[in-house]
Structure 1
Amino acid sequence: MKVIIAEKPSVAKNIADALKIKGKKDGYFEGNGYLITWAFGHLLQLFDAKDYDDKMAKWNMENFPFIPHQFRYKVKSDPRKKGKEDLGAKKQLKIIYTLLKRQDVDAIISACDYDREGQLIGDTIIYNLKTGKKVYRLLLNEWTPEEVLKGLDNIKPNTEMKPLQDAGIGRQWADWVIGINLTSVATLKYQKGKGQALNIGRVLLPTLKIIYDRDKEIERFVPEDYFKLAAQFKTQDGNEYEGMYSENGESQFKDKACLEQIEQELKEKHASILDKQVERKREYPPYLFNLSNLQGYITSKYKGWTSDKVLKIAQSIYEKKYITYPRTASSVLEESLAGKAANVLEKIKKGLPYESEIRFTKSKRVFDNSKVESHSAIIPTYLIPKSLTPDEQLVYTAIKNRFIMQFMPVAEHEETKILTKISSSEIKGLFVSKGKVQLVEGWKKVEKQESKDTLLPFVNISDPVQIVSCSLTSHVTKPPKHHTEKTLLKVMETAGKGIEKEEGEEMMEAVLSGYSIGTPATRAETIKKLKMVGYITTQNKYLLCTDLGRRLVETFPVKELFDLEFTGRLEKTLADIEKQKYTKEGFLNLIFEFTAKSVTTIKSEKDITIHEVTRGKKSNEVLGKCPVCGHDVIEGQKGFGCSNWKSGCKFVVWKNDKFLSALKKKPTKTMVKALLKNGVALVKGLTSKKGNKFEAYLRYEKNPDNEFFSWKMEFAPNQKQKAAHSADHLN
Structure 2
Amino acid sequence: MVSVIISEKPSVAKNIADALNIKNRKDGYFEGKDYIVTWAFGHLLQLYDVKDYDEGMAKWRMENFPFIPSHFRYKIKSDPRHKEKEDLGAKKQLKIIYHLINRNDVDSVISACDYDREGQVIGDTIIYNLKTKKQVYRLLLNEWTPDEVLKGLQNLKPNTEMRPLLDAGISRQWADWVIGINLTSVATLKFQKGSGKALNIGRVLLPTLKIIYDRDKEIENFVPEDYFKLATTFKTKDGNEYEGTYVEDEKDKFKNKETLVFIQQALSNQTATILDKKVERKKEYPPYLFNLSNLQGFITSKYKGWTSDKVLKVAQSLYEKKYITYPRTASVVLEESLVDKAAKVLNNLKKGLPYENEITFAKKKRVFNNSKVESHSAITPTYLLPKSLSGDEEIVYHAIKNRFIMQFMPIAEHEETNIITKVNHDEIKGLFTSKGKVQLIEGWKKIEKIESKDTILPLVNINEIVSIVDHKLTSHVTKPPKHHTEKTLLRVMETCGKGKGKEDEDSEEMMAAILSGYSIGTPATRAETIKKLKDVGYITTQNKSLICTVLGRKLVETFPVKELFDLEFTGRLEKTLFDIEKQNLNKESFLNLIFDFTTDAVKTIKNKKDIIINEVSNEKKTIEVLGKCPLCGHGIIEGQKGFGCSNWKNGCKFVIWKNDKYLASMKKKPTKTMVKSLLKNGVVLVKGLTSKKGNKFDAYLRYEKNSDNEYFSWKLEFLEKQEVKKRN
Task: Find the aligned partners of 1:33 and 1:133 in 2 and give their Cα distance.
Answer: 16
**1:277-676 alignment to 2 at 5 Å?**
277-499=278-500, 500=502, 501-621=504-624, 656=649, 660=651
C-alpha distance 359-685 of structure 1, shift in aligned 2 (>3 A): farther
Task: Find the aligned partners of 2:145 and 2:407 in 1 and give their Cα distance.
Answer: 23
Task: Find the aligned partners of 2:238 and 2:258 in 1 and give their Cα distance.
Answer: 34
Same amino acid, percent of matched pairs: 75
Maintained 8 Å contact 1:656/1:666: no
Maintained 8 Å contact 2:653/2:710: no
Pairwise CA RMSD: 2.4
| 1:195 counterpart SS class | coil
Q: Give ranges in structure 2 of 5+ residues lacking alignment.
A: 629-633, 640-645, 658-671, 680-703, 712-728
**What is the match of residue 154 of structure 1?**
155
TM (norm. structure 1) is: 0.87
Which segments of structure 1 move beyond 6 Å, counting only runs of 4 or more?
622-625, 632-637, 663-670, 683-686
The CA deviation string for residues 266-314 of structure 1, in whole angstroms up to 9 with x for no partner, is: 0011112111110000000000000000000000000100000000000
Q: Say if 2:192 is the partner of 1:191.
A: yes
C-alpha distance 336-205 of structure 1, shift in aligned 2 (>3 A): same
Shift of 1:617: 3.5
Shift of 1:497: 1.2
| 1:106 counterpart SS class | strand
Shift of 1:685: 8.9
The CA deviation string for residues 163-219 of structure 1, in whole angstroms up to 9 with x for no partner, is: 000000000000000000000000000000113100000000000000000011111
Task: Find the aligned partners of 2:452 and 2:323 in 1 and give their Cα distance.
Answer: 32
Q: Give ranges in structure 1 of 5+ residues lacking alignment.
A: 626-631, 638-652, 675-682, 687-692, 697-731
Shift of 1:634: 11
Q: Which amino acid aligns with 1:243?
A: G
Shift of 1:684: 7.4
**What is the match of residue 691 of structure 2?**
none
Shift of 1:81: 1.4
| 1:449 counterpart SS class | coil
Task: Find the aligned partners of 1:48 and 1:654 in 2 and give their Cα distance.
Answer: 37
**What is the match of residue 46 of structure 2?**
45
The CA deviation string for residues 510-530 of structure 1, in whole angstroms up to 9 with x for no partner, is: 100110000000000000000
**What is the match of residue 650 of structure 1?**
none
Task: Find the aligned partners of 1:28 and 1:340 in 2 and give their Cα distance.
Answer: 31
The CA deviation string for residues 68-126 of structure 1, in whole angstroms up to 9 with x for no partner, is: 00000111111111311111111111111111111111100000000000000000001
Shift of 1:464: 1.1
Q: Which amino acid aligns with 1:268?
A: N
| 2:142 counterpart SS class | coil
The CA deviation string for residues 3-35 of structure 1, in whole angstroms up to 9 with x for no partner, is: 000000000000000000010111110113111
C-alpha distance 285-134 of structure 1, shift in aligned 2 (>3 A): same
Shift of 1:695: 4.8
Shift of 1:694: 4.5
Shift of 1:615: 2.6
**What is the match of residue 251 of structure 1?**
252
Maintained 8 Å contact 2:194/2:617: yes
Maintained 8 Å contact 1:15/1:148: yes
| 2:488 counterpart SS class | helix
Task: Find the aligned partners of 1:595 and 1:158 in 2 and give their Cα distance.
Answer: 32
Shift of 1:161: 0.2
| 1:233 counterpart SS class | strand
| 2:540 counterpart SS class | strand
| 2:229 counterpart SS class | strand
**What is the match of residue 87 of structure 2?**
86
C-alpha distance 428-666 of structure 1, shift in aligned 2 (>3 A): closer
Q: Which amino acid aligns with 1:402?
A: R
**What is the match of residue 105 of structure 1?**
106
| 1:474 counterpart SS class | strand
**What is the match of residue 680 of structure 1?**
none
**What is the match of residue 180 of structure 1?**
181
Task: Find the aligned partners of 2:622 and 2:556 in 1 and give their Cα distance.
Answer: 34
The CA deviation string for residues 110-158 of structure 1, in whole angstroms up to 9 with x for no partner, is: 0000000000000000100112111000000000000000000111110
- Mean CA deviation greater in 76-85 or 108-117: 76-85
Task: Find the aligned partners of 1:381 and 1:63 in 2 and give their Cα distance.
Answer: 53
Maintained 8 Å contact 2:117/2:166: yes
**What is the match of residue 682 of structure 2?**
none
Shift of 1:667: 14
Maintained 8 Å contact 1:246/1:430: yes
The CA deviation string for residues 365-395 of structure 1, in whole angstroms up to 9 with x for no partner, is: 0000000000000000000000110100100
C-alpha distance 223-622 of structure 1, shift in aligned 2 (>3 A): closer
Maintained 8 Å contact 2:499/2:509: no
Task: Find the aligned partners of 1:326 and 1:67 in 2 and give their Cα distance.
Answer: 34
Shift of 1:618: 2.1
C-alpha distance 685-373 of structure 1, shift in aligned 2 (>3 A): farther
| 1:228 counterpart SS class | strand
TM (norm. structure 2) is: 0.87
C-alpha distance 624-405 of structure 1, shift in aligned 2 (>3 A): closer
Shift of 1:469: 0.7
Maintained 8 Å contact 2:274/2:466: yes
**What is the match of residue 722 of structure 1?**
none
Q: Which amino acid aligns with 2:44?
A: L
Maintained 8 Å contact 1:6/1:36: yes
Shift of 1:505: 1.3
C-alpha distance 426-667 of structure 1, shift in aligned 2 (>3 A): closer
**What is the match of residue 210 of structure 1?**
211
C-alpha distance 167-266 of structure 1, shift in aligned 2 (>3 A): same
| 2:129 counterpart SS class | helix
Maintained 8 Å contact 1:655/1:666: no
**What is the match of residue 269 of structure 2?**
268
Shift of 1:432: 0.6
**1:23-38 alignment to 2 at 5 Å?**
23-38=24-39
Task: Find the aligned partners of 2:706 and 2:119 in 1 and give their Cα distance.
Answer: 39
Maintained 8 Å contact 1:655/1:667: no
Number of matched residues? 655
Task: Find the aligned partners of 2:617 and 2:176 in 1 and give their Cα distance.
Answer: 29
Maintained 8 Å contact 1:19/1:32: no
**What is the match of residue 234 of structure 1?**
235
| 1:587 counterpart SS class | helix
Task: Find the aligned partners of 2:206 and 2:111 in 1 and give their Cα distance.
Answer: 34
| 2:106 counterpart SS class | coil
Task: Find the aligned partners of 2:412 and 2:281 in 1 and give their Cα distance.
Answer: 11
Shift of 1:453: 0.6
Task: Find the aligned partners of 1:74 and 1:507 in 2 and give their Cα distance.
Answer: 41
The CA deviation string for residues 328-347 of structure 1, in whole angstroms up to 9 with x for no partner, is: 00000001101100110011
Q: Which amino acid aligns with 1:546?
A: T
**What is the match of residue 16 of structure 1?**
17
